[in-house]
Chains A and B, each alone.
Chain A
Amino acid sequence: MANFYTDNPDLEFQFSHPLMEKIVCLKEQGFSDFGKYDYAPKDAADAIDSYHRVMEVFGEICADVLDANAAQVDETGVKCSNGKVTYAPGTVENQDVLIKAGMYGMSLPREYGGLNFSIVPYIMAAELTARADASFSNIWGLQDCAETINEFGSQDIKDEFLPRIFKGASCSMDLTEPDAGSDLQSATLKATWSEEKGMWLLNGVKRFITNGCADIKLVLARSEEGTKDGRGLSYFVHDRAWGGVTVRRVENKMGIKGSPTCELAFKDAPAKIVGERRLGLIKYVMSLMNSARLGIGAQSVGISEAAYRAAFKYAQEREQFGHPIIEFPAVYQMLSNMKARLQASRAVLYETGRFVDLTKAYASIMAKEKLSPQQRGEYKLYSRNADMLTPILKLFSSEYCNRDTYDAIQIHGGSGYMKEYQVERLYRDARITSIYEGTSQLQVVAAIRYVTSGAYSQLLKEYNSDCSMGQFSTLAGKLSDGICELDRIVDFCNSKSKSFIDYHSRALVEMAGNLILSHLLIKEAQRNSDMKASAELFTAQALASNASHSLFIMNFTEENVSSIERNYSSKCEQDVGC
């Protein structure tokens, strides 16, 4: 029987990371559930063993059910008639199998029916679902909404909704509106308090809502009349059973066709508030968004894994000029690059996951008791690292997954362009990853401040000292020079105008990201010799790419940048009248 977890040793390897024990101990808080729940672990080793065993089951389901259904799900897509959305039969089966296997509410506390797993196995499950069917990974991954309810909802809201999510109730997060995409603070869907009903009533339109037909919806809405910015927005939970929400249409998309993307009309839809008024966007959505970005990172890595495997298999089987094409440098060059990018993406995915784990664990302790000064220091460090790495993860993994699927088709030649081959679907599914949950361009906006402030550079120096001993010391030396070069370019940019930095921000963030991913790969290679080839290749390419970026930044002057800026801002005035 195929198994997407056991066929990929790079996954189990993540459970052996030195921080895992600490993560589990913090998550289980003294293992106090042991004895109270017959499936709770007695110590860290027991918990990690359970992660491993549950992932074995999960990997089997992904291979035998989700992957087997994926082509049919893509072909059938979703239907919407009279406001009712119908999933493809394969999607329904996927859900049913995972509910019976108890795989919903994975990271929720046991008191709500959850497994109380750390983020690491949770994102691993997300990666596995995406390798099988990226469209289904969206539907499954929306259990993230439970995390938000658990973190910020009142006790009543938690008791009302969380146990249902474990039983498989589907979720959606309703943020985007026709005129509020990347600019969410201009959301206008209106929330008004109804004394008569004792509930809030929602009115307006939401657009591009993944799984908008869900049972439980988290909705961003304007509760403060007369406000125009993010501070007037609050967060609400709506139960489909309360009525008032109609699916107007589902989008006809290029990829992830099994996941319904809905346009929704809210008409006096009853809702309850989650957390405090006015914190909807600035606190809760930001937190949910970070989890969602981690999820897209996992989805991207899953798609890349599928693309690499399909390309590798095809290259072994396809013969030309009397040889399997994998023997040709032009082909193995592509494959080795794909593998290096894939392993680098995975390294930053789980590194970010670990930091998110530690941050959430300390935050949950903090809600009950005061942290010691040492714990407070660690909390600050881990949450800063999580914030810094999330945009790097989202940017790099999604862009890489686009490239990997592109290359996978290239290796398949003309066959890869045909619907009969899996890579055709992977290519279409990959395209959205660098767009939704914050475009690549928005990730750059989120990350650039850590470049200019020197925060990435500081993190890189810590990583570099971890790499400087042992077999990778030479490589670490080269990377150390790379960090100096980054510092030099950053100093140079900091002495220039804001427009200059804005223009070059993508290149600057890529430089920092290249160095971060290189270090993380080397750190993994120190513990796992299978990563060595990728670590060496990725680092060499990262340094070459940084040299090119730095040459461009140094040579493309303030004047060059201004003339482009003038060109486009004047065009905008003339053509669009904005």
Chain B
Amino acid sequence: MRVVVLAKQVPDTRTVTKDAMTPEGTVNRAALDAIFNPEDLYALEQALRLKESNGCEVIVLTMGPERATQILKDSLFRGADHVILLSDSRFAGADTLATSYALATAIGKLSPDLVLAGRQAIDGDTAQVGPQIAQELSIPQITYATEISLADNCTIRVKRAIERGSEIVESSLPALVTVTSSAARPRSANARSVMRYKNFTAFEKWSVDTIGGDLNRYGSAGSPTKVRNIENIVFTAKESKVVNPDDASLENLITELIADHTIA
């Protein structure tokens, strides 16, 4: 069985400083650390658990610039069997649709039984790429997964988080599953793997030429999303108000909020 995990290197938006945005309103990538997208680590953990229980092969695929090999190395440290960097200047300017097409085309070359991804990336927060890939590949998709196991050789069983609880669903394979951060904690790097791969540089690199596909669907040409303008919103704190924890005070607060149309 073969599992492909999709991973993305993202700016660490959890530690945003005041120079996190450029004056033009775009993300200042130089000011932020580049990290392994947190929810993708949860997806990798699920893949490694399947490897432990069912002996499958785990391949991590990322699309990005050369430096994204950092997260590929991290994947090897944590137990991935194989890693691939999908990188080509012709991917530049890709929105989620063009990105999904590129990744789906690359995944098609690997013929996996299962594709895992994080629910969403912390830079764009769209949660679109995983589902769009499933659509492109015409395979079932399951989102918000917290536990994944094999029901039998060609069926997957997934516990997914839903409002007010969870549900367990099954799907035939191949399928795509996106994993949330309420799944099992991602394991750390393994000491031996760290020593084994610390000087590893022979990353497998794929380009448009490797994966083929429709050139008009890559990069900005394949991206219907056009960004007109990005505004930098600065939150300013105004004077605060202390509300006593009693019914009367809460009543007053609600009346006040309705009056100034904060709530309807």
Q: Which residues of A contact B (CB under 8 A)?
A: 38-41, 49-50, 53-54, 57, 60-61, 65, 97, 100-103, 106, 115
Contacts and interface: CB of A to CB of B under 8 A. Distances in A.
Contact of B187 (A40, A101, A106, A115): A101
A102 B198 contact: no
A53 B190 contact: no
Interface of B: 77, 185, 187-196, 198
A102 to B, nearest CB: 4
B188 A39 contact: no
B192 A100 contact: no
B188 A115 contact: no
B188 A50 contact: no
Nearest to B198: A53
Contacts of B187: 97, 100-101
Contact of B195 (A53, A60, A101, A106): A53
A101 B196 contact: no
A332 B219 CA distance: 59
Contacts of B77: 57
B188 A57 contact: yes
Contacts of B198: 49-50, 53
A125 B44 CA distance: 27
B196 A39 contact: yes
Contacts of A50: 194-195, 198
23 contacts: A39-B193, A39-B195, A40-B195, A50-B194, A53-B194, A53-B198, A54-B191, A54-B194, A97-B188, A100-B187, A100-B188, A100-B190, A101-B187, A101-B188, A101-B189, A102-B190, A102-B191, A102-B192, A102-B193, A103-B191, A106-B191, A115-B191, A115-B192
B196 A57 contact: no
Nearest to B187: A100
Contacts of B185: 65, 97
A100 B192 CA distance: 11
B81 to A, nearest CB: 14
A38 B193 CA distance: 9
Nearest to B79: A100
Contacts of B188: 57, 60-61, 97, 100-101
Contacts of A102: 190-193
Listed residue (A40, A60, A61, A100) with the most chain B CB atoms within 10 angstroms of its CB: A100
A60 B186 CA distance: 13
Nearest to A110: B192
Pick the 3 closest A-B CB pairs, nearest first.
A39-B195, A102-B191, A39-B196
A222 to B, nearest CB: 40
A39 B193 CA distance: 7
Contacts of B190: 100-102
B192 A39 contact: yes
Nearest to A100: B187
Contacts of B194: 50, 53-54, 57
Contacts of A103: 191
Nearest to A64: B188
Nearest to A117: B191
Contacts of A115: 191-192, 195
Contacts of A61: 188
A577 to B, nearest CB: 57
Nearest to A98: B188
B29 to A, nearest CB: 19
B94 to A, nearest CB: 29
A61 B191 CA distance: 12
A50 B197 CA distance: 11
A53 B193 CA distance: 11
A101 B193 CA distance: 9
Nearest to A102: B191
B201 to A, nearest CB: 15
A401 B90 CA distance: 60
Contacts of A57: 77, 188-189, 191, 194
Given A57-B188, A101-B190, 20 more contacts: A38-B196, A39-B195, A39-B196, A41-B195, A50-B194, A50-B198, A54-B191, A54-B195, A57-B77, A57-B194, A61-B188, A65-B185, A97-B185, A97-B187, A97-B188, A100-B188, A100-B190, A101-B188, A101-B191, A115-B195
A40 B192 CA distance: 9
Nearest to A106: B191
Listed residue (B190, B195, B196, B198) with the most chain A CB atoms within 10 angstroms of its CB: B195
A115 B190 CA distance: 11
A283 B185 CA distance: 44
Nearest to A1: B35
A323 to B, nearest CB: 25
A189 to B, nearest CB: 37
A100 B185 CA distance: 12
Nearest to A39: B195
Contacts of B193: 39, 102
Listed residue (B188, B191, B193) with the most chain A CB atoms within 10 angstroms of its CB: B191
A112 to B, nearest CB: 13
A49 B194 CA distance: 11
B105 to A, nearest CB: 33
A151 B193 CA distance: 27
A101 B78 CA distance: 8
Contacts of B196: 38-39
A134 B190 CA distance: 23
A41 B188 CA distance: 22
Contacts of A41: 195
A49 B199 CA distance: 11
Nearest to B189: A57
Contacts of B189: 57, 101
